[in-house]
Chains A and B, each alone.
Chain A
Amino acid sequence: MQDDPVMRVIAKVLIPMVMLFALYVQFHGDYGPGGGFQAGVIFAAAFILNATIFGLNRGRHVWPARLNLLAIGFGVLLYGGTGVASMFLGENFLNYNVLADDPIAGQHLGILLVELGVGITVAAVMVALFFTFAGRLSHLRLMDKTEAHEKTKQGASDE
């Protein structure tokens, strides 16, 4: 699909705009519709569009597998970490009032951190799901090649 000039140009124009919109939705979730889940899915959509148009290998290059796994865990860690930080500061788990001097500022900070954790996890999960599903065919071909290679090696060693 990357040979088609219309697709290539539109993708190159749209992908940064989609990512910017995702960041807008994430951080303006307090003042309008939005929040972590929606922003995470939209952010993942930019990377899925990139992988669909320019190929899975280039898509994987931009969003490596190790980084993906780390991000999936990091979001949940950030969420739980905010709760545990509240416990260290003396209050119950996930009580945001103590995270700053003023309870309202503490609530704002807590909601920001928590939604950021959710957004990171959801984005990483959606991209991981896409690459797992889309990479299945090439994985199966790889396993066929490996089996054929081993059979010829077996045949050569038998002789």
Chain B
Amino acid sequence: MSGFIVNAVLIVFLALIAFLALRLHRLFAMVMLSGAFSLVAATLFVVLDAVDVAFTEAAVGAGVSTVLALATLSLVPVQEKPHKIAVIPALIAVQTGVLLIMAIGDMPRFGAADAPIHTYLAPDFIAGSENDIGVPNVVTSVLASYRGYDTLGETVVIFTAAIAVMLIIGGWTRPNNKPDTAQEDDHAR
């Protein structure tokens, strides 16, 4: 019973925060709400037994994403322009929602142990993590050993994002064309 109440409170919070973040005009408050959204989502992930994912979502979503959004807000206007009510996008969103709800009938029940995804590879990975690899955290063993190639791709994606951001706003300038200020620029970076 207490589990049900905790779940219900978290779900209501999540939907409420998302709806409010949509309605606000002050962008600073909206960014703060998006950080709160990530934090409540991380709590819901813990309730759903995904502890690694909750850790990452809290660190990345409520941490880095909020810091980057605030850094952007220091350089752009902080007030959203008042807007008219958009009817067609609302209709499109509602229609997409209805189509998705119609597909729920085919989905397995929440928590069902005989759902198709639990029968294929997961038991092999759990057994292999104990016998062949010897690492208790199954998520780490799948991430780093069974699916190591995908994690290499992910690391390269992070690397590429850093290079892209540094090229877009990193302030790399042509050397030796400007006077002493070029040296200052190097140090300021």
A residues engaging B (CB < 8 A)?
25, 29-35, 37-38, 41-42, 44-45, 48, 57, 60, 65, 72-73, 75-76, 79-80, 83, 93-94, 96, 103-104, 107-108, 110-111, 114-115, 117-118, 121-122, 124-126, 128-139, 142-143, 145-146, 149-150
Contact = CB atoms under 8 A, between A and B. Distances in A.
B122 interface: no
Contact of B155 (A60, A76, A108, A111): A76
Contacts of B163: 72
Contacts of A57: 188
Interface of B: 51-52, 54-56, 59-60, 63-64, 67-68, 71-72, 74-75, 132-137, 139-141, 143-145, 148-149, 151-152, 155-156, 158-159, 161-163, 165-166, 169-171, 173, 178-179, 181, 184-189
B71 A130 contact: yes
Contact of B71 (A103, A134, A145): A134
A79 B189 contact: no
A129 B52 contact: no
B133 A125 contact: no
B52 A149 contact: no
